[in-house]
Structures are given as C-alpha cells and as structure tokens.
Amino acid sequence: MTSSQPKYEYVDSAKLPTRWGDFRIHGFVELNGQEHVALSYGEWTEDDIVPIRIHSECLTGDALFSTRCDCGFQLEKALQNIVEHGSGVLLYLRQEGRGIGLLNKIRAYHLQDSGMDTVEANEHLGFDADLRSYDICKLMLDTLNVRRVELMTNNPRKTDALTRLGVDVVARKPIDHGITKDNKGYLKTKTEKLGHAFDPHLLK
C-alpha cells in the first residue's frame, strides 16, 4: 500500500424510510474494515449551509434505550431536526464508547457503577478519555456534496476537527439532550472534563 492510496472508500447507497421521514443511507468503509454510514435527507447545492450531526455509535443508548447516557436522545433529535429543516445529513460513525469498543465500554460501566466517572473509568482501563477520530467525515461530506455546514453538537472537539479537515463550519447549533436521573452525573463529567457545552443549571 502506498501513501497515495485512499484510507476510506464509498460503497453504495439506498433508500432508508424511517419514522421521521424517508432518508437515503450511504455506506463507507475504512481500509481496516471498519464500516460507517451517512443518512441524507432532502437536496442542496454546494453553496448551501447544510445541517449535520456527527453521531458516534452507542448500541446501549441508540438501540437498547439506555438512559445512562444521552446518545439515543440526541440521535432521535438530530433526525427530527433534519426533517423539520427539510434537508440535512447524519454521519453515523462506528466508534463505540468514545472509541474503546462495546465490551470495554461495559467494563467502564462496571467501574462507573463502583463510583468512577466516565473519564476515570476509561483511563483506569488504560485508554485516553476520548479516542474518537473524525477524519472520515470529510470524505463522507464530499461524497454528498456538502461543503458548508451547521453542526448540531455540544462538543467543541467536533467543530475543531471538521475545521482542521477543511469543512466550512458556518455555525454550531446545540443539540437537545435528554436529562435523566441516570445520566446527570455523566453529563456533568462531559461538561467539566471534556468541555461539552451544557447549561450547568440543568444538571443540578
């Protein structure tokens, strides 16, 4: 393999009807075999500002309805916002547990059950607090002819990552999060240790 070879490839796309509306799903794969998808809705030109959400996979929150995080809430809200706007893209990245994987996330949950916060648990297992990469996002957006974006996120690292990749982040829009008795501590840790932009008054 030479350094000029692409690290990622676009695979194919298809219709994806959902309870929010009719999306298209687009498949991408890294050379290491890791698979990611993008969901697109509506149409735009390369000059339009397109609402997007970068969402990292969370099996427990997205599919199993866990309330110990805000992932499932944010996924649903992002899809709803895109449909209400009339167009937009959701990039769904397969990097569970901020990059440590599903089983390690369960190990981290066990440590959190014993009193650690989410950052302490990851670090106790020998990982950085956040191992996620957003490099593939540029290819995904280029493939979908998205040049200028309004990014739905509370995480400034995502804004910085897209800007470094050459994506024109015109605005950042906070994404609503479902606050429960089970995830208040998690959200407080994300605010205090990971720099997420939550209203601290909501977490009291």
3-class state of residue 145 by DSSP = coil
Please report, for residues 96, 110, 127, the alpha-carbon distance to residue 103 in angstroms, rounded to integers and kept in the order given.
9, 11, 13
Rg (C-alpha) for the chain, rounded Å, is: 17
Binding-site residues for GTP: 53-57, 74, 96-98, 118, 153, 158
Residue tagged active-site, from 62, 70, 117, 130: 130
**Length of the chain in residues, anyone?**
204
User: What is the rounded CA–CA span in Å between residue 168 and residue 91?
Assistant: 16
Long-range contacts of 117-124 (CB under 8 A, 24+ apart): 117/185, 117/186, 117/189, 117/193, 118/186, 118/189, 118/190, 119/189, 119/193, 119/194, 122/97, 122/98
Q: Looking only at Cα atoms, what is the longest distance across the chain?
A: 53
Binding-site residues: 53-58, 69, 71, 74, 96-98, 118, 153, 158
Distance of alpha carbon 97 from its chain centroid, rounded? 11
User: Does 148 qualify as catalytic in the annotation?
Assistant: no
3-class state of residue 115 by DSSP = coil
User: Does 172 qualify as catalytic in the annotation?
Assistant: no
Residue tagged active-site, from 117, 132, 142, 157: 132
Catalytic positions are 130, 132
